[in-house]
Amino acid sequence: MGFELLLKGNNLGRLFGGLAVALKISLLSVCISLVLGTVLGSLMNDRHPLIKGVLRGYLEIVRIMPQLVLLFLAYFGTTRVLGINISAETASVFVFSFWGTAEMSDLVRGALSGIPSVQYESSMALGLSDLQTLVFVILPQIIRRMIPLSINLITRMIKTTSLVMMIGIVEVLKVGQQIIEANRKIDPNAAFGIYFTVFVLYFIVCWPISRLSKYLEKKWEA
Amino acid sequence: MDFDVLSFYFPKYAEAFLLTVRIGWLGIFLSIVIGIVSAFVIYFRVPVLSRLIGAYVEIFRNTPLLVQLFFLYFGIPKLGLNISAETCGIVGLGLLGGSYMSEAFRSSLGAIPNSQKESAEALGLTSVQTFFQVILPEAWVLSVPAVVANVIFLLKETSVFSAISLMDLMFTAKDLIGLYYDTTEALFMLVVFYIIMLVPVSAAGSILEKRARYKMFGE
């Protein structure tokens, strides 16, 4: 069934290596998204029509376009249209950050809109600048609501990185495919065991993170 | 951008579009059915079954669709059960979506305050009447935003079907790029067709959400 192939040679190690590639891409993108998303999300309630319009357009693009399409655009499109050649990994970090930033900024915007305007007015009365108000008054209040949601974004990011195999990055699913192909003669039924293992690996990585997110959400709600 | 190429590509994309839409909506329909049933089972705490459904929801919410599809399409047939790529796509999307929909329905059922149930009881409604005439209509309205978000999410997820060689939009784009090297045109058409597929759904979703909000605060 393919499970014994895992113990053959370094197959299990290679699978973990593939998982590490996927995790590296997702963690890098998450870090970028958290920072940029917080900044953009704070700007989203800005009254300037241009800023508002551009940000809305950006959010809509991300909402409508599948991540895989964005990946194709970034990887194949840039080479063709702009003539620049970026590696598949750079392209995927770029796309996932582009997507994650939009998601994060929407979360921040949602959390900010729950803050009563009294908070802003009181800060103004105390002589705080807009930036000071945001950093010292508003952000500390939304951080408890943001942390579980941001953790949730991490699991979604990890799940989405499975797409990078479609632009040729050798991550865990691709490694699984290679193992199956290499052992086609020895074990023609290997696909079951290997893909099951990949399935379980993803679950083992994502499940604790989403449990943590749920736990924090419940704990801080009270 | 070469317009001859675009018009040459158009019918191929149109065909792929129809396939994507068909599989996507069948999958979404299946996911709503699974979601409603699972949410009911969890809400009524049906013994054993609710445990199983809970495990199913956790498993499918925490794994990527691509991995689920690979397992369904390449793994399961090794047990002697052969499924076509199309069925596999629909079932895969339905199972993934079902876990998300079940969360959406379950949390809106849970959000109905107990006073509603108690008031209904005080008015002499039976528990069946209470559920179908009081709890369910309120929960249904509450779940609209989450369901709309899930539908858009699932339609976007259809893009990974190309990996199990279903000839959807993504597959067509990749195929045409490989055949003719007109990358710009192929990617342009890909984006256009995804816009055609998702903008109406997104717009309809916003209208639905707005109407649901009116309902929540009374007409």
Tokens of B216: 């929540």
Residue of A nearest to B148 (CA): A63
Q: Is B63 on the interface with A (CB under 8 A)?
A: yes
Q: How many CB pairs under 8 A join A and B?
A: 109
pLDDT of residue B219: 43
Contact B67 A202 (CB under 8 A): yes
Number of neighbouring beta carbons within 10 Å of residue B44:
12
Distance from CA of B207 to the nearest CA of A (A): 16
Nearest to A189 among B71, B78, B184 (CB): B78
pLDDT of residue B80: 82
Residue of A nearest to B56 (CA): A203
Task: Mutate one of B56, B65, B78, B93 to test the A interface: name it (highest A CB count within 10 A).
Answer: B78
Nearest to A196 among B71, B177, B191 (CB): B71
Burial A80-114 (b: 16+ CB within 10 A, else e): eeeeeeeebeebbbbbbbbbbbbbbbbbbbebbee
Residue of B nearest to A79 (CA): B183
pLDDT of residue A201: 92
CA B87 from chain centre, in angstroms, equals 15
Number of helices (H) and strands (E) in chain A: give both, helices first.
10, 0
Contact A192 B198 (CB under 8 A): no
pLDDT beneath 70, residues of chain B: 215-219
Indicate if ipTM > 0.90: no
* A222 has a pLDDT exceeding 70: no
Set of chain B residues whose Cβ sits within 8 Å of the Cβ of A1: 78
Q: Is A155 on the interface with B (CB under 8 A)?
A: yes
Segment A188-212 mean pLDDT: 91
In sign, the C-alpha dihedral spanning A178, A181, A186, A187 is positive
Q: Say which residue the tokens 């113990």 belong to.
A: A7
Distance from CA of A116 to the nearest CA of B (A): 21
Confidence of residue A208 (pLDDT cuts 50, 70, 90): very high
Q: Is B163 on the interface with A (CB under 8 A)?
A: yes
Segment A179-185 mean pLDDT: 86
- Which has the closest alpha carbon to A147: A63, A38, A45? A38
Distance from CA of B86 to the nearest CA of A (A): 19
- Which has the closest alpha carbon to A180: A194, A168, A169, A166? A194
- Distance separating alpha carbons of residues B215 and B219, to the nearest angstrom: 6
Higher-confidence residue: B215 or A154? A154
Cα dist from B12 to B16, B187, B189, B190, B200, whole Å: 6, 13, 10, 11, 22
